[in-house]
Amino acid sequence: MTTADSGCILYLVPVPLSDGLFCTCNLGFLSEIKIFFSEKISETQKFLKKNKLLSSFTDCEFHEIKNISSSDAEKLAALIKPAAALFSDAGCPCIADPGNLIVRAAHKKNIRIVPLPGSSSIMLALMASGLNGQQFIFHGYFPVKEDQRRQKIRNAEKDAQRSKRTQIVMETPYRNSVLLESLLAVLNDATLLCIASDLTGMNERIVTLAVRDWKKRKIIPEKVPTLFLFGE
Amino acid sequence: MTTADSGCILYLVPVPLSDGLFCTCNLGFLSEIKIFFSEKISETQKFLKKNKLLSSFTDCEFHEIKNISSSDAEKLAALIKPAAALFSDAGCPCIADPGNLIVRAAHKKNIRIVPLPGSSSIMLALMASGLNGQQFIFHGYFPVKEDQRRQKIRNAEKDAQRSKRTQIVMETPYRNSVLLESLLAVLNDATLLCIASDLTGMNERIVTLAVRDWKKRKIIPEKVPTLFLFGE
């Protein structure tokens, strides 16, 4: 299998989920990079400074990529000469995170894409849940409207029963308790539910219980980044 | 949110996908661990020796966890005192990999689960595909029988069209060309297909093209670990 190669490279750089820099990759090559794409320039510059990865930003270009269109992405991909780096604010770029349109535009230009290993809250939560990791669905966010959210949960539970796939849902911290309330109202008592909060952080907490046992606890989830996983 | 805590810990340790040890975690704590669970003891011992993580195995216990039952898992979880480590052979434990039954049994005993960040071929492929990373399905392996495999591909493409979810499939290296043939026969010409091979390895190759463009190439995929991703 071969493909024409432009000689250019786009690096995809994950950023640790919490302040504890547990996993360190060899990012020394970044000192050669002049073009940076990221969700929030200030966050990326803070990360680069804190980890002493770039001594000076003077001849570097930083481009924000949140909410860009396909045509913006094509213009940005044209800047990848000979190399650029796409950063996430936390976790893996392009996964529950912006960036995939630039990667797609880069593929069109035969730019080599080099994804670097790092923390993914989705993978950490799934590993630690004890639920099925052979097949799974990541839904992103469930709807804000309650009736729509409950319908989504109902459908996802049916999928879990039929296909044995683990269902993974993300929520913004201040809505964690609203989502948990809907999950406990809709899911069967025997369904296993994992709540995984503040992954890799000081207050990491990953608990898997049957829905009937969660109901007995009357918990209020903290307002920290949390993933909810359920299945059989 | 609180939970009773047994004071015991189960660490989940990812192992690099290829020989290139690109991402290094601080695994110094392993020198205190005496109980190890893994898919293949010899692979885990090779990894520990190569990376100088354990100087001697004499007072350590190694347990193989491939194809264990729930009751085996409960017996093994009872050994986690005060700590144990669950290793993958490559990538993340419990994801397209054995181990989740031990994690599940450990949750029942209020053992703290600590998942460590590392390489996941699924995440690397999804990041680098340029396809939608806001919602996705990991199917594991598609069926070996051709008619069943084609039906699965048809259903997965419908799901991609309806829900915009990226579809991710894994294949054993010697069957890569059989799966690719079915994908090219069944998928619409406009569907985007990413083939991601030998991730983090010396021959890493990640290419995303419309099905119509793959058809023009008449490629035969190499017999190396490969993920296939498709969507809109």
Annotate chain A with DSSP letters as a single string: ------S-EEEEE-B-SSSS--EEE--GGGGG--EEEES-HHHHHHHHHHTT--S--TT-EEEE-TT--HHHHHHHHTT-SSEEEEE-SSB-TTSSSS-HHHHHHHHHTT-EEEEPPB--HHHHHHHHH-S--SSEEEEEEPPSSHHHHHHHHHHHHHHHHHH-PEEEEEE-GGGHHHHHHHHHHHS-TTSEEEEEESTTSTT-EEEEEEHHHHHHH-----SS-EEEEEE-
pLDDT tens, position by position, A72-96 = 999 999 999 999 999 998 899 999 9
Residue B169: HSE in the Cβ half-sphere, 13 Å Cα cutoff = 27
Regions of chain B where pLDDT drops below 50: 1-3
Examine residue B218 and state whether it is found in any structural domain, yes or no: yes
**Are residues B128 and B56 both part of a single domain?**
no
Among B115, B142, B176, residue at a domain's last position: B115
Examine residue B57 and state whether it is found in any structural domain, yes or no: yes
Examine residue A138 and state whether it is found in any structural domain, yes or no: yes
**Are residues A168 and A221 both part of a single domain?**
yes
Examine residue B2 and state whether it is found in any structural domain, yes or no: no
Examine residue B3 and state whether it is found in any structural domain, yes or no: no
Residue A37's pLDDT is 97
The arithmetic mean of pLDDT across residues A119-148, rounded, is: 97
φ, ψ at A3 (rounded to 5°): -145, 150
**Are residues A130 and A179 both part of a single domain?**
yes
Nearest chain A Cα distance for residue B63, angstroms = 18
Q: Give the span between the Cα atoms of A86 and A61, in whole angstroms.
A: 12
Q: Give the span between the Cα atoms of B31 and B59, in whole angstroms.
A: 11
Contact B1 A209 (CB under 8 A): no
Among B115, B146, B163, residue at a domain's last position: B115
- Nearest by CB to residue B100, choosing from A99, A131, A219, is A131
> Is the four-CA dihedral B18, B20, B25, B30 of positive or negative sign?
positive
Nearest chain B Cα distance for residue A165, angstroms = 8
> Which residues does chain A have within 8 Å of residue B93's beta carbon, measured at their own beta carbons?
127
Q: Give the span between the Cα atoms of B186 and B228, in whole angstroms.
A: 14
Examine residue A1 and state whether it is found in any structural domain, yes or no: no
Choose between B58 and A168: higher pLDDT. A168
In A, minimum Cα distance to B163 occurs at A139
Residue A61's pLDDT is 95
**Cβ–Cβ < 8 Å for B133, A97:** yes
Nearest chain A Cα distance for residue B206, angstroms = 7
DSSP, collapsed to helix, strand or coil, labels residue B106 as helix
A216 confidence band (pLDDT: 50, 70, 90): very high
**Are residues A100 and A136 both part of a single domain?**
no
Angle separating helix axes A100-108 and A70-77, nearest 10 degrees: 60
- Nearest by CB to residue A117, choosing from B99, B119, B220, is B119
Query: CA-CA distances (angstroms) from residue B75 to A209, B78, B103, B147, B230?
Result: 19, 5, 12, 41, 41
**Residue B168: which of A137, A229, A168 has the closest Cα?**
A137
Instruction: Check pLDDT > 80 for residue A34.
Output: yes
Choose between A117 and A150: higher pLDDT. A150
- Give the count of Cβ contacts less than 8 A between chain A and B: 189
Choose between A40 and B55: higher pLDDT. A40
- Nearest by CB to residue A115, choosing from B26, B103, B127, is B127
Among A62, A87, A115, residue at a domain's last position: A115
The arithmetic mean of pLDDT across residues A131-140, rounded, is: 98
CATH number for the domain spanning A167: value is 3.30.950.10
Examine residue B21 and state whether it is found in any structural domain, yes or no: yes
**Are residues A95 and A184 both part of a single domain?**
no
**Are residues B221 and B157 both part of a single domain?**
yes
Instruction: Check pLDDT > 50 for residue A163.
Output: yes
Nearest chain B Cα distance for residue A32, angstroms = 18
Residue A105: count other Cβ atoms within 10 Å of its Cβ.
23
**Are residues B133 and B87 both part of a single domain?**
no
DSSP B117: P
Lowest mean pLDDT among A50-59, A104-113, B106-115: A50-59
A22 confidence band (pLDDT: 50, 70, 90): low
Contact A131 B1 (CB under 8 A): no
**Are residues B103 and B147 both part of a single domain?**
no
H-helix or E-strand spanning residue B157: helix B146-163
Instruction: Check pLDDT > 60 for residue A2.
Output: no
Examine residue B16 and state whether it is found in any structural domain, yes or no: yes
**Domain count of the fold of chain B:** 2
Choose between A37 and A201: higher pLDDT. A37
Residue B1's pLDDT is 41
- Nearest by CB to residue A117, choosing from B22, B205, B219, is B22
Residue B22's pLDDT is 52
CATH number for the domain spanning A21: value is 3.40.1010.10
Residue B219's pLDDT is 85
**Are residues A128 and A104 both part of a single domain?**
no
Residue B24's pLDDT is 62
Q: Give the span between the Cα atoms of B209 and B216, in whole angstroms.
A: 11
A1 confidence band (pLDDT: 50, 70, 90): very low
Residue A64: domain span: 9-115
**Are residues A168 and A201 both part of a single domain?**
yes
Residue B110's pLDDT is 95
**Are residues B52 and B144 both part of a single domain?**
no
* Burial class of residue A88 (count of CB atoms within 10 Å of its CB; 0-12, 13-18, 19+): buried
**Are residues B108 and B19 both part of a single domain?**
yes
